[in-house]
Amino acid sequence: MAEDAAAAPRGEDDKDGGKTAAGASPRPAETLGFYERSDGSRPEVKKRTLSDLSLLRFISAELTRGYFLEHNEAKYKERRERVYTCLRIPRELEKLMIFGFFLCLDAFLYVFTLLPLRVLLAVIKFITLPCCGLSNGRLLQPAQVCDVLKGVIMIICYFMMHYVDYSMMYHLIRGQSVIKLYIIYNMLEVADRLFSSFGQDILDALYWTATEPKERKRAHIGVIPHFFMAVLYVFLHAILILVQATTLNVAFNSHNKSLLTIMMSNNFVEIKGSVFKKFEKNNLFQMSNSDIKERFTNYVLLLIVCLRNMEQFSWNPDHLWVLFPDVCMVIASEIAVDVVKHAFITKFNDITADVRIQN
């Protein structure tokens, strides 16, 4: 009996030892941030009493405690990839912005170069209809109808803009306080986005109404009402852009640069409004398109301001160097805001930097 009693503890020890040997090496137990070992292989946790806990022992533990990062290898690799993604965002974003800038520039120059020629060809075709006859039962092709509508809208708005007094607008805006101008500029930015969104629908509705096949049932108010709505939209949006350029011109010509600084700091509000929102890949692409359009618009506004100031100073090239620091400051703040915004949006939504290339 005594031998059996003595053998039982040994059997249990052998059993425990077998489990330890069969499994993986045990994870060291952490005590006050460091590990103590009774021998060279297995750590042992010493039972401590309150008398053993002292300030010196706590400081020693904090100075000598170890880190076992390999137990969270996947987590730390993911953190490292996030850092690399944030570092890649500026390069990938600027590549997209440069590509989008040239697309916007192409669309902008098209209105002043190719569109007049296309309108001229459409008019010539319309005049020579008695000689050439109708093609496919149409006076003009749908694309030519759209070109003529664009040209007529541009000409009408051009003559309507002659009745807008820029000098009176400039002095009216210049007489306002800094706070009022800041509020006006914010309202103009919001109105510009709303106009751009709704105005494109107005123009598309006009083009489709004018080129819709005649055999279909009419479910619209007619081409003439759509045409007047389009003219009114283009005229109001042109005035809005002019007021934006005038406000920016007042900020450039003010004696103190407080207004210009406030207007640039307004860009950083975009970070607060966008970074902490949930974004999918499609939403990120749409936001990138909006940023491209906004940056191109700002470049056009800066060009208008520079040309207006150079005209006032009889095109003196020395005055261009006076405007150059402010122009660079506005552009740099816009780029910095876009980079920070997109970097943290991709970080918080686990989106890779290659998404912009795929889109």
Helix 114-127 to helix 142-161 angle, to the nearest 10 degrees?
120
Chain segment 189-216, per-residue pLDDT in tens: 889 889 988 998 999 999 988 888 776 6
DSSP state of 65: -
From CA 90, how far away is CA 73, in angstroms rounded?
A: 28
Handedness of CA 265, 267, 273, 274 (dihedral sign): negative
From CA 110, how far away is CA 106, in angstroms rounded?
A: 6
Chain segment 252-280, per-residue pLDDT in tens: 887 767 767 777 777 777 777 777 777 77
Residues 6+ apart with CB under 8 A from 220: 205, 209, 212, 226
Closest CA to 231 of 189, 199, 190, 196: 199
**pLDDT tens by residue, the chain, 359 residues:** 444 544 444 444 444 444 444 444 455 444 444 444 444 444 454 555 555 668 888 888 778 777 766 677 777 787 788 888 888 888 888 999 999 999 999 999 999 999 999 999 988 888 887 666 555 566 788 888 899 999 999 999 999 999 988 888 888 888 888 788 888 888 888 898 899 889 989 999 999 888 887 766 566 678 899 999 999 999 999 999 999 898 888 888 877 677 677 777 777 777 777 777 777 777 888 888 889 998 999 999 999 989 988 888 888 888 888 888 888 888 888 898 888 888 888 887 777 766 655 55
Q: What pLDDT score was predicted for residue 232?
A: 95
Spell out the SS3 assignment of 119-155: HHHHHHHHHCHHHHCCECCECCCHHHHHHHHHHHHHH
Closest CA to 264 of 310, 321, 328: 328
- What's the Cα-to-Cα distance from 83 to each of 77, 90, 285, 343, rounded to whole Å? 10, 13, 21, 10
Q: Can you give the length of the chain in residues?
A: 359
Closest CA to 199 of 164, 165, 145, 157: 157
From CA 336, how far away is CA 223, in angstroms rounded?
A: 45
From CA 38, how far away is CA 357, in angstroms rounded?
A: 57
From CA 342, how far away is CA 285, in angstroms rounded?
A: 11
Q: What angle do CA 162, 167, 168 make, to 5 degrees?
A: 95
**Contact indicator for 309, 252 with CB cutoff of 8 Å:** yes
